[in-house]
Amino acid sequence: MSFASNYNYGVAGRAIGVDLLNNPDAVTTDPTISFKTALWFWMTPQSPNPSCHDVITGRWSPSGTDTLAGRVPGYGMITNIINGMLECGKGSDARADNRVGFYKRYCDIMEIGYGNNLDCNNLMPFGEKVRMELQLSCYL
């Protein structure tokens, strides 16, 4: 797991009690810190993103804006939270498609259903506020 900015290292580090701003490599070199930061990321909403946990457990409900942006519950929404700016809202993406394949494989191993909305091909990333506002203004 990588963090896209120093901000994430700061808040994650404070949450797990480690100075990640001055030692960001600990996330990749210390297995305990790696696990703690991954768990922190999975469980913690980072506005405007919901937590991955809330999405996959059905505790998150999309707002009207989310629905207009195609952001609906399902595995694709988790990809949007983790890597949306790189992979989502651009049609088919090999990285996201591979991730869906791995997800399906593990669902099959555990004999559980996949659920709906597996990809993020049509989900607008959360950072796309300007594009979203432009699209909404067309309806006003």
Q: What's the mean pLDDT in 81-107? A: 92
What is the Cα–Cα distance from 48 to 107, expressed in whole angstroms?
Answer: 28
In this structure, is residue 140 part of a structural domain? no
Q: Are residues 58 and 92 in the same domain?
A: yes
Q: Provide the percentage of residues in the chain whose pLDDT is more than 70.
A: 87
What is the Cα–Cα distance from 32 to 2, expressed in whole angstroms?
Answer: 15
Query: What is the span of the domain harbouring residue 85?
Result: 48-130
In this structure, is residue 25 part of a structural domain? yes
Residue 57: the pLDDT is: 95
What is the Cα–Cα distance from 52 to 77, expressed in whole angstroms?
Answer: 8
**Average pLDDT of every residue of the chain:** 88
pLDDT band at residue 117 using 50, 70 and 90 as cut-offs: very high
Number of domains, the chain: 2
pLDDT for 124 beyond 50:
yes
In this structure, is residue 2 part of a structural domain? yes
The CB-side HSE value for 132 (13 A sphere, CA atoms) comes to: 17
pLDDT band at residue 131 using 50, 70 and 90 as cut-offs: low
